[in-house]
Chain A
Amino acid sequence: MKIRVDLDLCQGHGACAAEAPEVFSVDESESRVIVLDSSPAEALRSRVEAAVKYCPTRALRIVEE
Chain B
Amino acid sequence: MSAAIPRLSGGLPLLGHLLELRRNPIHLMQRCRDECGEVGELRLARQPLVMLYGERAQEAFFRAPDEQLDQAAAYPFMKPVFGPGVVFDATPEQRKQALRNRSLRDQAMRGHAETIARETERMIAGWGESGSVDLIDFFAELTIYTSSAALVGPEFREELGPELVPIFKDLERGTDAIAYVDPYLPIPSFRKRDRARARLVAFLQGIFERREREGRQCQDLFQVLRGIKGPDGAPRYGVDTITGMFISLMFAGHHTTSTTSSWALLELLRHPEWMKRVIEELEALYADGREVSYQALREIPQLEGCFKETLRLHPPLILLMRKVVQPFQYGDWTVPVGNTVGVSLAVSNRDPAVFADPQRFDPTRYGPGREEDQRGFAWIPFGAGRHRCVGAAFAMMQVKAIFSILLRRYEFELAQPPESYRSDHSKMVVQLAQPCRVRYRRRAAEPAP
Q: Which residues of A contact B (CB under 8 A)?
A: 8-9, 11, 13-15, 17-18, 28-29, 31, 56-58
Taking the nearest CB of chain A, how far is it from the CB of B366, in angstroms? Answer: 13
Docked pose: A40 CA to B232 CA in angstroms: 45
Known contacts A9-B376, A17-B106; 19 further A-B pairs (Cβ under 8 A): A8-B62, A8-B63, A8-B385, A9-B384, A9-B388, A11-B386, A11-B388, A13-B104, A13-B106, A14-B105, A14-B106, A15-B106, A15-B393, A18-B106, A18-B107, A31-B96, A56-B392, A57-B384, A57-B388
- B residues in contact with A8, CB < 8 Å: 62-63, 385-386
Question: Which 4 pairs show the lowest CB-CB distances between chains A and B?
Answer: A56-B393, A15-B106, A14-B106, A8-B63
Interface of B, secondary structure class, is: helix
Is B290 engaged at the interface, CB distance under 8 Å to the other chain? no
27 A-B pairs with C-beta separation under 8 A: A8-B63, A8-B385, A9-B376, A9-B384, A9-B385, A9-B386, A11-B386, A11-B388, A13-B104, A13-B105, A13-B106, A14-B105, A14-B106, A14-B107, A15-B106, A15-B393, A17-B106, A18-B106, A18-B107, A28-B100, A31-B99, A31-B100, A56-B392, A56-B393, A57-B384, A57-B388, A58-B376
How many Å from the CB of A56 to the closest CB on chain B?
4
The interface residues of chain B lying within 8 Å CB-to-CB of A29 are 100
A17 to B106, CA, bound (A): 9
Cα A10 to Cα B105 with chains together (Å):
13
A57 contacts which chain B residues (CB < 8 A)? 384, 388
A-B contacts at CB below 8 angstroms, number: 36
Bound-state CA distance A28–B386 (Å) is 16
A59 to B300, CA, bound (A): 22
Docked CA distance A43–B248 (Å): 44
Asked if B2 CB lies within 8 Å of chain A CBs, one says: no
A28: chain B residues at CB < 8 Å are 100
CB closest residue in chain B, given A19: B106
| Residue on A nearest B102 in the bound complex, by CB | A28
Quick one: given A11-B390, A13-B393, A14-B105, are A58 and B385 in contact (CB under 8 Å)? Answer: no
Give the distance to chain A from B378, nearest Cβ to Cβ, in Å.
12
> Would you call B217 an interface residue if the criterion is a C-beta within 8 Å of the partner chain's C-beta atoms?
no
Whose C-beta in chain B lies nearest to the C-beta of A26?
B105
Residues of A near B106 (CB, < 8 A) are 13-15, 17-18
Task: Tell me, rounded to whole Å, the shortest Cβ–Cβ distance linking A23 to chain B.
Answer: 15
CB distance from B370 to the nearest CB of A (A): 16
- By beta carbon, the residue of chain A nearest B96 is A31
Q: Does B374 contact A (CB under 8 A)?
A: yes
User: B96 contacts which chain A residues (CB < 8 A)?
Assistant: 31
Determine the distance from Cα of A14 to Cα of B384 in the docked complex, in whole angstroms: 17
Mask: chain B, 116-130; 1 = CB below 8 Å from A; 0 = not: 000000000000000
Report A-chain residues with C-beta under 8 Å of the C-beta of B376.
9, 58
Q: How far is the CB of B292 from chain A (nearest CB, A)?
A: 19
Residue of B nearest to A8 (CB): B63
Q: Which residues of B contact A58 (CB under 8 A)?
A: 374, 376
B269 to chain A: closest CB distance in Å? Answer: 29
Contacts of A11 in B (CB 8 A): 386, 388, 390
CA distance A9 to B390 in the complex (A): 11
Mask, B376-418, CB within 8 Å of A = 1, is 1000000011101010110000000000000000000000000
Q: Looking across the interface, which residue of chain B has its beta carbon closest to that of A57?
A: B388
What residues of B have a CB within 8 angstroms of the CB of A17 in the complex? 106
User: How far is it, in angstroms, between the C-alpha of A9 and the C-alpha of B374 when the chains are bound?
Assistant: 14
How close is A11's CB to chain B, nearest CB, in angstroms? 6
B311 vs chain A, min Cβ distance (A): 14
Query: In the assembly, what is the distance between CA of A57 and CA of B391, in Å?
Result: 11
A31 to B386 CA separation, bound complex (whole angstroms)? 11
Question: What does the 1/0 interface line of B37-71 toward A look like (CB < 8 Å)?
Answer: 00000000000000000000000001100000000
Distance of A32 Cα from B236 Cα, bound (Å): 24
Could you mark each residue 151-195 of chain B with 1 if its beta carbon is under 8 Å from any beta carbon of chain A, else 0? Answer: 000000000000000000000000000000000000000000000
A14 proximity list for chain B (CB < 8 A)? 105-107
Residues of A with C-beta under 8 A to B390: 11, 13
